[in-house]
Chain A
Amino acid sequence: MEGLLFNVNNGYIEGIVRGYRNGLLTGTNYTNMTQCESIDDLKLQLGPAYGDFLASLPPNPSTSSLAAKATDKLVSEFRYVRANAVGSLATFMDYVTYGYMIDNVALLITGTLHERDTRELLERCHPLGLFETMPVLCVATNIEELYNSVLIETPLAPYFKGSLSHQDLDELNIEIVRNTLYKNYLEDFYNFVNTHPDMVGTPTAEVMSEILEFEADRRAINITLNSFGTELSKADRKKLYPSFGQLYPEGTLMLSRADDFEGVRLAVEGVADYKNFFEAAGLGGGPGGPGNMAGGSGGAEGRSLEDMFYQKEMEISKGAFTRQFTYAIVYAWVKLREQEIRNITWIAECIAQNQKERINNYISVF
């Protein structure tokens, strides 16, 4: 049914994105990359995929500039797709950018709180999260002005409204602000894909629900794990959990009461995937360090929880491409590309630092 009219508006976009997906680096590419001796070799290997964007780099570029160029490519492709999108797909793509916008706004809030010149911060913002009126936020000199500008100028207003006041921005830790916003954003996005008439009952709703539920669960688990030993109280922590996902509501309730790694493990017991992750991580990292990449000392074999979450996210994203007539492929493509950039950065970092033993820590699904 949804296939009948989908291509009228969105067929071109879907074709383009599927084309982009085929341009993603494959396992063979990664194997070749790990054999490189220098960043220049790596650049050469990336030639077919990133040619134009890497051309302007000087010989032996730094990993960060490599990553920046790779991000540039993602951004330019995303902008092209966004420019061609119409109707609900355009809104959908805007939703994708809100996540980055939250990060940018959090950055600006930090700058304003510490009375820095926020104009300098604009360069540091993630390009996907840029919006036209962003420079307006830099005019604000105190936090109340900034709060009002954010409410007026940004699409993030609904996420602020109701859960954060301008005093909160002053008093709360920026991380709490960021996570509150992110929680609201996830809930809103989830709501959007499940209620919008164009998407309800289509593969988009199905796939996006899976992805967003996973994202919500991952955030809940991560927040819990990372909050141990910080001043974040359990009640405050509970407020940061998104109110959907496979763990919701029993799992999140248990998460909010968890005191240690074991508590988190019990909380996620009900979901087979997470249970497996925790078992693997519990064996590999021990009770002391559940969600780590072993910090460079030992345990190079054991995959961390974070790694497994990324792996799972990539698999879901890969799975999204098996469905047709869905917007979710755009989201999945962005996520896959992000992972690819992370992989490239990681491999480049390992080559630059001559630490080849951990170079295979990248995640490749194709």
Chain B
Amino acid sequence: MSGAADREAVFPTRQSLGIMKAKLKGAETGHSLLKRKSEALTKRFREITRRIDEAKRKMGRVMQIASLSLAEVTYAVGGNIGYQIQESAKSARFRIRAKQENVSGVLLPAFESYQTEGNNDFAMTGLGKGGQQVQRCRETYARAVEALVELASLQTAFVILDEVIKVVNRRVNAIEHVIIPRTENTIKYINSELDELDREEFYRLKKVANKKQRDTAEEDAQMKAKKEQQQKELSALAEGNEENEAPKAAPEDDGPADILAAEEDEDVIF
């Protein structure tokens, strides 16, 4: 039976029927809630995908400008100032704050960038020549990093949302295609078993009733026969004493009849 594999292992009782019905109801509520959550997340996911696309394009442009401005610095300063810049940078000018955003119960990290004012560690780099380019390049790269930070927070949200959407969808599908059918099957099974039991019970009762009727009828018949016998005996007693042998034989006949009745009784009990 294929249905047997697809139902829960429960005893078909009224109690478990009640439990199963409650479970089915819970599963349906959960299903609709999860479905709505999944839809909300998917909506958000699409929006993020669109924004990632924009951010990536923006990043491409900004990075291009930034690397060109670095080329300008190389051109103007006429040498490699990388080491000097690295060494004179003491504290971060460009900083990031992390926030959390709640989308239908999913916590998405969002990065917010800000620049600390008055932090100008290498303001004098290229004092002799190319200083303007260095500053300009720094500004351009600050913009580029800003774009990167934005992209990073979007990408993180993208990955997390993707994961969560997958989980939620898996749950929705599991409830829809496994739990609900199975519970329904179980309910159906319990119902059918209970019906079966009912029918059996009914049949048995009928059988017992029949038996009892038959027994009663037999008993009645025996009682009747006995009565007739007694009446006969009484009439015989009344007739004469020489026929004393006859009533002696009659109880011998009664014995086997009684044993049969007892046997019949035992059978009824069975």
Using CB atoms and an 8 Å cutoff, list the residues of chain A in contact with chain B.
63-64, 67, 103, 106-107, 110-111, 113-114, 116, 121, 124, 126, 173-176, 178-179, 182, 218-219, 222-223, 225-227, 229-232, 240, 289-293, 295-297, 304, 306, 338, 342, 345-346, 349-350, 353, 355, 358, 361
A107/B83 in contact, CB under 8 A:
yes
Q: Which 5 A-B pairs have the closest CB atoms?
A: A226-B131, A349-B71, A175-B124, A296-B65, A230-B123
Residues of B contacting A345 with CB < 8 Å? 71, 74-75
Contact with A along B209-227 (1 / 0, CB 8 A): 0000000000000000000
User: Is residue B230 contacting chain A, with contact meaning CB distance below 8 A?
Assistant: no
Is A219's CB under 8 angstroms from B139's CB? no
Other-chain contact of A342, B75, B120, B137 (Cβ < 8 Å): B75
A353 touches B67 (CB 8 A): yes
11 CB < 8 A contacts A-B: A121-B83, A173-B88, A175-B126, A289-B132, A291-B132, A292-B132, A293-B72, A346-B75, A349-B71, A355-B64, A355-B68
Instruction: Name which residue of chain A comes closest to B127, CB basis.
Output: A175
B82 to chain A, nearest CB (A): 9
Question: CB distance B123 to A229 under 8 Å?
Answer: yes
By a CB distance below 8 angstroms, the chain B residues around A293 are 72, 75-76, 133
Q: Which residues of B contact A179 (CB under 8 A)?
A: 127-128
The reply to whether B128 and A173 contact each other, CB–CB distance below 8 Å, is: no
Q: A349 with B133: in contact, given A179-B128, A295-B140 (CB under 8 Å)?
A: no
A2 to B79, CA, bound (A): 37
B64 touches A232 (CB 8 A): no
Contact of B68 among A64, A67, A353 (CB under 8 A): A353
Classify chain B's interface size.
20 to 34
Q: Which of B72, B76, B120, B129 is in CB contact (< 8 Å) with A219?
A: B129
Assembled-state Cα–Cα distance A179/B126 (Å): 10
Beta-carbon contact of A226 and B124 below 8 Å: yes
CA distance A174 to B125 in the complex (A): 9
**In the complex, A268 Cα to B123 Cα: how many Å?**
24
**Chain B residues near A218 (CB-CB < 8 A):** 129
- CB-defined contacts of B128 to chain A, threshold 8 Å: 175, 178-179, 182, 219, 222-223
B140 proximity list for chain A (CB < 8 A): 295-296
Chain A residues contacting B126 (CB-CB under 8 Å) are 175, 226
Among B71, B72, B84, B127, which residue has the most Cβ atoms of chain A within 10 A? B127
- State in angstroms the CA–CA spacing of A218 and B124 once bound together: 16
* Interface residues of B, dominant DSSP: helix
Contact, CB under 8 Å: B68 / A231? no
A346: chain B residues at CB < 8 Å are: 71, 75
Indicate if the CB atoms of A292 and B71 lie closer than 8 Å. Answer: no
Q: Is A349 in contact with B127, judged by CB distance below 8 angstroms?
A: no
**Are the C-beta atoms of B87 and A222 separated by less than 8 Å?**
no
Chain B residues lying within 8 Å of A126, measured Cβ to Cβ, are 79
A226 surroundings in chain B (CB, below 8 A): 124, 126-127, 131-132
Interface residues in B184-213 by Cβ distance below 8 A to A read none
Contacts known (A111-B87, A306-B133); A176 close to B68, Cβ less than 8 A = no
What is the CA–CA distance of A295 and B139 in the complex, to the nearest angstrom? Answer: 9
Decide yes or no whether B15 CB sits under 8 A from chain A.
Answer: no
Determine the chain B residues whose CB is within 8 A of the CB of A111 once the complex forms. 83, 87
Q: Is B129 a contact partner of A222 (Cβ separation < 8 A)?
A: yes
Can you name the residue of chain B whose Cβ is closest to the Cβ of A227?
B127
Given A345-B75, A355-B68, 20 extra CB contacts under 8 A: A67-B74, A107-B84, A175-B127, A176-B124, A176-B127, A178-B127, A218-B129, A219-B129, A226-B132, A230-B124, A291-B131, A296-B65, A296-B140, A297-B65, A304-B132, A306-B129, A306-B132, A338-B78, A345-B74, A350-B71
A342 to B75, CA, bound (A): 6
Q: Which of chain B's residues have a CB closer than 8 A to the CB of A175?
A: 124-128
- Cβ of B136 within 8 Å of any chain A Cβ, yes or no, is yes
Q: Which residues of A contact B71 (CB under 8 A)?
A: 63, 345-346, 349-350, 353
Known contacts A293-B133, A296-B65, A349-B68; A223 and B127 CB within 8 A of each other? yes
B100 touches A (CB below 8 Å): no
Q: Are A231's CB and B79's CB within 8 A?
A: no
Chain B hits for A296, CB < 8 A: 65-66, 68-69, 72, 140
Q: How far is the CB of A162 from chain B (nearest CB, A)?
A: 20
Question: Which of B74, B76, B140 has the most A CB atoms < 10 Å from its CB?
Answer: B76
Is B68 touching A230 in the complex (CB atoms < 8 A)? no
Cβ B84 vs Cβ A110 within 8 A: yes
A295 to B130, CA, bound (A): 12
Please determine whether B78 and A292 come into contact, CB atoms closer than 8 angstroms.
no
CB of B80 within 8 A of chain A?
yes
Q: Which of B101-160 contact A (CB under 8 A)?
A: 120, 123-133, 136-137, 139-140
Residue from B67, B79, B124 whose CB has the most chain A CB atoms within 10 Å: B124
- Complex CA gap A231/B125 in Å reads 12
